[in-house]
Chains A and B, each alone.
Chain A
Amino acid sequence: MTNISEYKDFEVNSANLKHVRTFAREVFIRSEQLKSYQEELVLALAEAAQNIVKHAYNSEPTDDTMRIKINYTNDGLLTLELFDKGKAVVPENIKPRKIDDIKPGGLGTFFIGQIMDEVIFKTSKIDWVNHLILKKQF
């Protein structure tokens, strides 16, 4: 089992989402376990990053960065963390799409919930406003 702990900062804009995916793929490929589930994990992480661009910053231009941390321990626990300085998230307002609700939008949170085991929102992190934690136990 491979222990992994990596982080990288990205400017908050939609053009950087592909760089978020590249970073995630480069990290996930280092573990056979994560590699086998790579594209689903990339999707979950990229959806969370997209939510920062879309909702924390309303897709408006900014010089702010977001930080993405990937941690994988030898007990098989994957933790993805996203930090940003955008508008504070109100966790009660975030609801995954209902299964029979066919409309554009609202799918990102649904995907994250399908792929990951646990989603935790924090707002008290020093130096950041929002701190999202996604966990999956392999």
Chain B
Amino acid sequence: MTYKVTEENNIATVFLDGEIDMDVTDKAKEVIIPLIEAGKEVHINLKDVQYIDSSGISVLIESHQKGEEKNTRVVLKEISKSVLKVIMMAKLEQILTIE
């Protein structure tokens, strides 16, 4: 997994790339969670993520919950077909914020 972060006004966009599994979830959290804790609206762009497993889904859940705790939006953007399939299998499409 690789990533890129862009910031504009108070919105930080995290572009994730590759495969998100247990081996890279700490890295993903290290990028996303501090942005949420800083009070930024965080957009997680998933268009270039080809594979996600339960550990990766857990990162999305934790980010969503941290956003609620900090009263800031965490939005999933441009979700790839393969990632959306897993989100729907986890029945999280109504819970996570997807645009």
List residues of A whose CB falls within 8 A of some B CB: 14-15, 17-18, 21, 39-40, 42-43, 46-47, 50, 53-54, 99, 102-105, 107-108, 110-111, 114
B58 touching A18, Cβ below 8 Å: no
Contacts A14-B21, A18-B23 given; does A108 touch B54 at CB 8 Å: yes
What are the interface flags for B68-99 relative to A under an 8 Å C-beta threshold, 1 for contact and 0 otherwise?
A: 00000000000000100110011110010000
| Given the contacts A18-B19, A50-B21, A103-B61, A39 and B89 also touching, CB distance less than 8 Å | no
Write the chain A residue with the least CB distance to B52.
Answer: A43
The reply to whether A15 and B89 contact each other, CB–CB distance below 8 Å, is no
Say whether, besides A21-B51, A47-B53, A105 and B21 are in contact (CB < 8 Å): no
CB distance from B82 to the nearest CB of A (A): 6
A14 touches B22 (CB 8 A): yes
Whether a CB of chain A sits under 8 angstroms from the CB of B62 is: yes
A83 → chain B closest CB, angstroms: 20
Whether, in the assembled complex, B57 has its beta carbon less than 8 Å from a beta carbon of chain A, the answer is yes
Partner of B85, one of A39, A53, A99: A39
Question: Which of under 10, 10 to 19, 20 to 34, or 35 or more describes the interface residues of B?
Answer: 20 to 34
Most buried by A among B22, B23, B54, B58: B54
- Interface SS majority for chain A: helix
B86 touches A43 (CB 8 A): yes
* 12 interchain pairs, CB-CB under 8 A: A14-B23, A18-B19, A43-B86, A47-B53, A47-B54, A54-B22, A99-B91, A102-B92, A104-B61, A104-B62, A105-B58, A111-B86
Q: How long is the Cα–Cα vector from A39 to B91 in the complex, in angstroms?
A: 18
- Who on chain B is nearest to A102 by CB? B95
